[in-house]
Amino acid sequence: MKVHEYQAKEVFKKYGILTPMEKMCHTVDEVIAASKEIGIPCVIKAQVMVGGRGKAGGIKLAKSEKEVRQHAESILNMEIKGIPVKKVLVSEAIDIGSEAYLGIIIDRGKKKTVVMACKEGGVEIEEIARQRPEAIYKVYADSLMGLMPHRAREVGLFLYEDPKVAFECASVASKLYKIFVDLDSSLVEINPLVVDKGGRLIALDAKLNFDDNGLFRHPDVEAMRDRESEDASELLAKEQDLSYVRLSGNIGCVVNGAGLAMATMDLVKHFGGEPANFLDIGGSSSPEKVMNALRILLKDENVKVIFFNIFGGITRCDDVANGILQAKHTLNIKHPIVARLTGTNEEKAMDILKEAGLIFAKTMDEGAEKAIELLK
């Protein structure tokens, strides 16, 4: 789960990391009021959870009240990568001395939490990682002890020569690490971390992503979710313990297991079709879950055919069959359904579905091909 810059900064502030004076606004009038409070010049920043806001014109410096209004109007009417801007952050204009990058993620390979620091801030860190990986300094936290003070100092001393700033930076790194661990974060990032002309260390931007598996223990994090910015169907799916991602094709896929779901999409494509979605109904299923899955799938009007690919292990094919049957009646589904159900209780499933007017397939190849065939 992701949150907006302004939300990430609220968390940062709570942990004692310095951020610019700021106010989140929804309307042009609010922006003007905020600019008076914060002072002009100020920066107006679109709050959307996609990269490249700056390039898209979503971040503007306003040097006069007139410019405040102009920028507020333009940004609040903007779409960035297809996402309409509904909130902006009015931010104190900081007199920047230097910019750096500071972030924390889990390194899958080393199986440890890693603090990444780079003397170049405000640029895309992924680009640097690809082109000049040596420019990124990595410090690993001890998995049981945390980010030890000497490790945090190492980060600070890498970024800054002035010991005072270096130790302030060490303290910021320790606070970031605490946020990371306390909140089950999957990414926490300050880019750029700036030293202003007065020598203060300020988080000019903030990024905070969360590990979905950790959300159950953080209702306060869950409460930050911006439901407007997420796809309604994907969100609904998540709430029903399903995993759904909408794509642009016309063959709706219902599969158990993420790997098999991806392989199913790949197979549809392989045989010349276009998958309409990724939909994983998960491990242990019930007829209700199948019903819910179909409800979500059918919101997509592009879907012309439904392809069930179920390999029963912990999932029982009869549960899925009962779900299909119920859904077909309750939701009055007219779409042709190709069903490939194999594994646990597959015979029972066949018995249940015998009279339902489905197209059966013995293998996933056959299922994909039949689904594509039906579109012709």
Partner 1 sequence: MSIFVGKETKLLVQGITGRDGSFHTMQMLKYGTNVVAGVTPGRGGQKVEGVPVFNGVAEAVGKTGANTSVIFVPAKFAVDAVYEAADAGIELVVCISEGIPAIDMVKVVAYLRDKDCRLIGPNSPGVVSPGEAKVGILPGHIFKKGNVGVVSRSGTLTYEIVDQITKSGLGQSTCLGIGGDPIIGTKFIDCLELFAEDGATEAVVVVGEIGGRDEQDTAEYVKKNFKKPVFGFIAGKTAPADKRMGHAGAIISGTAGTAAEKIKAFEENGIVVGETPTEVARLLKKHLG
61 contributes a contact to partner 1 by CB under 8 A = no
Hey, is 136 helix, strand or coil? strand
302 contributes a contact to partner 1 by CB under 8 A = no
Q: How far apart are CA 21 and CA 137, in angstroms?
A: 30
Task: Report the residue from 27, 64, 77, 143 that binds partner 1 according to the rule CB under 8 A.
Answer: 143
User: Which tokens in the block code for residue 273?
Assistant: 């079709």
138 contributes a contact to partner 1 by CB under 8 A = no
Active site (annotated) includes residue 189:
yes
263 contributes a contact to partner 1 by CB under 8 A = yes
Q: How many CA atoms lie within 13 A of 248 on its CB side?
A: 0
Nearest to 299 by CA among 219, 234, 345: 234
Residue 94 CB, shortest distance to partner 1, in Å, is: 25
177 contributes a contact to partner 1 by CB under 8 A = no
Among candidate residues 5, 6, 92, 101, the one labeled active-site is 101
Contact 102, 85 (CB under 8 A): no
Q: Which residues of 285-312 are buried (b: 16+ CB within 10 A; e: fewer)?
A: bebebbbbbbbbbbebeebbbbbbbbbb
Classify residue 58 by its DSSP letter.
-
Residue 258 CB, shortest distance to partner 1, in Å, is: 3
227 contributes a contact to partner 1 by CB under 8 A = no
312 contributes a contact to partner 1 by CB under 8 A = yes
- Farthest CA pair distance, the chain: 78
163 contributes a contact to partner 1 by CB under 8 A = yes
Looking only at the bridges linking them, the beta strands covering 59-62 and 42-46 are: antiparallel
Active site (annotated) includes residue 101:
yes
Task: Report the residue from 150, 227, 334, 376 that binds partner 1 according to the rule CB under 8 A.
Answer: 150
Cβ closest to partner 1, residue 96 vs residue 181: 181
Task: Report the residue from 245, 298, 333, 359 that binds partner 1 according to the rule CB under 8 A.
Answer: 245
Q: How far apart are CA 334 and CA 78, in angstroms?
A: 39
Stretch that binds partner 1, among 24-32, 38-46, 179-187, 188-196 (CB under 8 A): 179-187
Hunting for tokens 């007017």 — which residue is that?
357
State the burial class of residue 104 (Cβ atoms within 10 Å of its Cβ: 0-12, 13-18, 19+): buried
Catalytic residue set: 101, 189
Footprint of partner 1 (CB under 8 A): 106, 108-109, 111-113, 126, 130, 142-145, 148-151, 153-154, 157, 163-164, 166-167, 180-181, 184, 186, 211-214, 216-217, 243, 245, 247, 255-263, 265-270, 275, 278, 280, 283-284, 311-315, 342-344, 363-365
